[in-house]
Amino acid sequence: MTVIIEGISIVIRAKSLAVGFSNWQSFLDWVPNKTLCCDGELARIGFMSPSDVSSSVSNLEHRGIRYLVDRQSLDIAVVDQLHGLCCSCDWLEVGTMPYNGDEAKPIMAAKLIGGKNNLLMLPDNWDYRSSLTMNYRFIPTPEIEHSFADIDDSIPGQRAFIDFDGKKWFMNRTNIPKD
């Protein structure tokens, strides 16, 4: 497995990036948040909101990088941390593995089938103790509106909530790239 999967991840075949971007730097400039990791074969970007995933995939498709053809992932795969691949994909292997060999710290990861890279790539400054892998909580969108109250002290790029037990929760939002 080569790239971590957290939240809802967009995994792009690295070779497909040349279709939508003039060079690696233009792709890096496009990346909407700080969750990118790449192994040379795959590029992965993580999200916490399905609407952010949808907007980013649409933007990539507008650039010529294709998501689904006949219900099959072509250049882009969407992978959920809890449920795995969201659509059929014959080029990506997804599963759990122990983080740093520690069976008590399972993580979800993805690898290009037939790929050469076996080292796990993580976003810069990723730390297991503060990771979404260790601290996730899935909240369906309708439940957010009924079980939480928005609070005013949120950090830019985050939506902050307080649940009815008084615990504070954050949902990172993405600056969706413009064409």
In three-state secondary structure terms, 52 is helix
What pLDDT score does 142 carry? 67
- Measured from the Cβ of residue 23, the count of other Cβ atoms closer than 10 Å reads 10
CA separation for the pair 86, 155 (Å, rounded): 30
Q: Collect the ranges in the chain with pLDDT lower than 50.
A: none
Q: What are phi and psi of 172, to 5 degrees?
A: -70, 135
Residue type, 110: A
What pLDDT score does 131 carry? 84
What pLDDT score does 63 carry? 96
What pLDDT score does 132 carry? 80
Q: Are 89 and 69 in contact (CB under 8 A)?
A: no
Positive or negative torsion for Cα 110, 113, 116, 118: positive
Q: pTM for the whole thing?
A: 0.81
Q: Which two tokens stand for residue 95?
A: 């599963």
Strand order in the sheet with 42-47: 37-38, 42-47, 8-13, 76-80, 84-85
CA 138: distance to chain centroid? 14
Residue type, 127: D
For the residues of 45-89, what is the DSSP string, one character each? EEES-HHHHHHHHHHHHHTT---EETTEESSEEEEETTTEESSB-
Each residue of 153-162: pLDDT tens digit?
555 555 565 6
What pLDDT score does 141 carry? 64
Exposed/middle/buried for 74, CB within 10 Å: 0-12, 13-18, 19+? middle
